Structure 1
């Protein structure tokens, strides 16, 4: 059995029948879309997606900063005015 990572779920046929209702429900919490009682996907609201995208961007920047700090070169100190 597969884990469903949402408190709310709807069947694929319900999504097809009333996608607007599923989208409205997804604004407050993720909605799992089930196909034959197995998760086929998830619908999330725009605020949740924007938060996820920002977090991923921040993680990518943190990895880049860590790689640059670990490259063996001495850091260069600058002020905000110099930038």
Structure 2
């Protein structure tokens, strides 16, 4: 059976157990597929890559809000009224 691996780098779960920081470093800042019996079990994502992913998710959510509000009627307000 074949599995779709979404990274260029993979490591076995045994390698991860033996030396987790070496496995993380081998990805050079990119996620690493951790394999269990040659099947992707999970992805090891460095903190900077995780933060970048979370920023993209936040941006996508904000874009949805902007698009939903783009058709709303606008109301003119002066700074003095605030």
Q: Normalising by the residue count of structure 1, what TM-score does the alignment of the two structures yield?
A: 0.78
Aligned counterpart, 1:76: 75
Structure 1 residues without counterparts, runs of 5 or longer: none
Structure 2 residues without counterparts, runs of 5 or longer: none
CA RMSD of aligned residues (A): 2.3
For residues 4-83 of structure 1, the aligned pairs below 5 Å read 4-70=5-71, 73-76=72-75
Q: Which runs of 4+ in 1 moved over 3 A?
A: 76-79
- Whether the aligned pair in 2 keeps the contact of 1:27 and 1:44 (CA below 8 Å) is no
Aligned residues: 79
